Amino acid sequence: MSGVAYKKLFNTIVAHDFYEGYISKGDLAFVPTIETNRAMKNNNMLFRNDESGFRVLYRDLSGSPFVNFSNIRLVFSINLLNLTEFLNFTNLNDGVNLFEAGKILYFTNVGTETVNDLTYDLLDYLRPAVFTYAFPTAAGSVGHIKITRGVIDVTPTYPNPNTIPADANNNFFYPIDFTGMEKGVYEFETWGSGAHTTKTVYIDNDLAGKNVFGIVDIKVLNASDLSFPPVPAAPPPYPEILDKRVYVARFVRRETFWKYIVVLKSGKTAIGDTINLVDGLSQPPYPSITFTRAADTIVNNLAAATFTSGSPAIPFFAVPKKGLKIEKIVATPTPHIETVVTNIETPSLGVVSGKGTNTEPTEIFVFI
């Protein structure tokens, strides 16, 4: 058919400031849901995964969509491919909502269809349409539950949501049957005699129980350029975006503190010597690192000097820090500084502290 071709509907790229080029490649994979596959087929769309995200194309006929689609929701599950490192160098917290096992990453453009950055939230649970919702509250109280989908109250009327009895351990259980309800995000508000607690639950029979890491929820208004983000004005945010119709699922790197344990193995440097761990090279995004000598220790019956990094915290970055060296102040015959070791290695991602705080820093052993 003359004039028929496929054009880009939108791209979604995974941005991460951990990487030198700000693009995360090979960390995540995206899979359309059953409903999304059906919607794309019915509207003559194609889905393509690539190493930095995914793209959706639509069939065009002489400058107009082959199917005149509008207000379509396209939902994709996120699978974590880089199991060993991604969680270690990525800050997945949503403000005060801290990431932990079982929570679901949620990216969406709903309400911000013409903005590049997708909105990021952490959802508490991913559940099927039929399940039992459990929640604790104060001893001796009666449990209450209210469930909303956006601004719409969808709380079941049976069993009575305001007279939920507690079990012997003061836990409450309320059966949910949302068969036939729309898939997506619901808010579960519960309370007893104490404060209210609200949790976010994504309900989807097909995704529940499939080890889903996250969800991307894209609303397509229509095929018009005005329904999608334009090319950002210069200077663009990372990564540099030179094209329109691009959505960004943006991740930020974690920060940590380092603790170097310098084991004095050779005998050329003694524990009583004045030695310093020095950052001798400016290398953004790493800050200028100042190390303070902390309490000495013993490692395998050998004396070891300990150095800890102070503020600011050290960002995770794919390019290792260079320029760290150990210097010793020598008093005779004239006072001078002697370089003992150069190009000290920075920690590998696999050993970085899960806490990343100055009280629980990453430990790095150096033998000299």
Tokens of 280: 């001798």
pLDDT higher than 70, residue 200: yes
Give the list of residues 6+ apart from residue 337 with CB closer than 8 angstroms, or none: 327, 328, 329, 330
pLDDT greater at residue 151 or residue 333: 151
Least confident of 25-34, 64-73, 273-282, 325-334: 325-334
Band of pLDDT at residue 269, cut at 50, 70 and 90: confident
Band of pLDDT at residue 217, cut at 50, 70 and 90: very high
Measured between alpha carbons, how far is 107 from 117 in angstroms, rounded to an integer?
Answer: 9
pLDDT higher than 90, residue 77: yes
pLDDT greater at residue 191 or residue 201: 201
Mean pLDDT: which of 61-65, 171-175, 235-239 is highest?
Answer: 171-175
pLDDT in tens, 305-326: 999 998 899 999 999 999 999 9
The mean per-residue pLDDT over the stretch 264-289 comes to 91
pLDDT higher than 70, residue 259: yes
**Residue-wise DSSP of 57-110:** EEEEETTEESS---SEEEEEEEEE--TTTHHHHEE--BTTB---TT-EEEEE-T
Domain ranges of the chain: 4-120+207-253, 129-203, 256-367
The mean per-residue pLDDT over the stretch 11-18 comes to 96
Give the residue among 218, 222, 195 at the shortest CA–CA distance from 69: 222
Task: Provide the sign of the torsion angle of the four alpha carbons 291, 293, 296, 302, taken in this order.
Answer: positive
Least confident of 37-41, 306-310, 335-339: 335-339
Strands 53-61 and 64-65: antiparallel
Which pTM value belongs to this model? 0.91
pLDDT at residue 15, rounded to an integer: 97
Measured between alpha carbons, how far is 89 from 19 in angstroms, rounded to an integer?
Answer: 10
pLDDT at residue 360, rounded to an integer: 79
pLDDT in tens, 138-154: 666 789 999 999 999 99
Q: Where are the alpha helices (DSSP H) in the chain?
A: 34-42, 86-89
Task: Provide the sign of the torsion angle of the four alpha carbons 134, 136, 139, 144, taken in this order.
Answer: negative
User: Beta partners for 258?
Assistant: 362
Band of pLDDT at residue 349, cut at 50, 70 and 90: low
User: How many other CB atoms are found less than 10 A from the CB of residue 166?
Assistant: 18
Tokens of 343: 């190009």
Question: pLDDT over 90 for what percent of the chain?
Answer: 74
Give the residue among 57, 55, 8, 52 at the shortest CA–CA distance from 29: 52
Instruction: Burial-class residue 17 by CB neighbours within 10 Å (0-12, 13-18, 19+).
Output: buried
The mean per-residue pLDDT over the stretch 167-172 comes to 84
Band of pLDDT at residue 268, cut at 50, 70 and 90: confident
3-state helix, strand, coil in the chain (%, to 5): 5, 45, 50
pLDDT higher than 90, residue 74: yes
pLDDT at residue 358, rounded to an integer: 63
Tell me yes or no: is domain 129-203 CATH 2.60.40.
yes
pLDDT at residue 140, rounded to an integer: 65
pLDDT at residue 137, rounded to an integer: 73
pLDDT at residue 348, rounded to an integer: 72
Phi, psi dihedrals of residue 181, rounded to the nearest 5°:
-80, 160
Strands 214-220 and 104-108: parallel
Give the list of residues 6+ apart from residue 8 with CB closer than 8 angstroms, or none: 55, 56, 57, 245
pLDDT at residue 62, rounded to an integer: 81
CA distances from 268 to 159, 196, 345 (A): 77, 64, 20
Measured between alpha carbons, how far is 176 from 129 in angstroms, rounded to an integer?
Answer: 7
Instruction: Tell me what the pLDDT averaged over the chain comes to.
Output: 91
CA 165 to chain CA centroid, Å, is 38
